[in-house]
Amino acid sequence: MTDSGSNDNPELLSVAQTVELLGVTRQRIHDLIKNGQIVARKLGRYYYIEAGEIERYNNQPTGKPYQPRSTTSHPNSIDN
């Protein structure tokens, strides 16, 4: 990572570099960009992702939050 002393020029990663860092496919990266889960800049024909976006994405919770099952019986359940 290069440090120019300014946040005006953050380190930009190519889609290929992002694929390597996240261990996913190119299509997955493009889907994440399209869905707004990763913010990218389009320069010419190519997308570039700020290095900080990778860290932010990795720190997001995954899956659904845990919710314990209800212990009450359903009126249509059969008890034998």
Domain positions in the chain: 12-58
Q: What is the pTM of this model?
A: 0.65
3-state secondary structure of 43: strand
Residue 17 one-letter amino acid: Q
Q: Are 15 and 53 in contact (CB under 8 A)?
A: no
Beta strands across the sheet bearing 46-50 = 12-14, 46-50, 40-43
pLDDT digit string, tens, across residues 31-68: 999 999 999 999 999 999 999 999 999 898 877 777 88
- For residue 80, pLDDT beyond 80: no
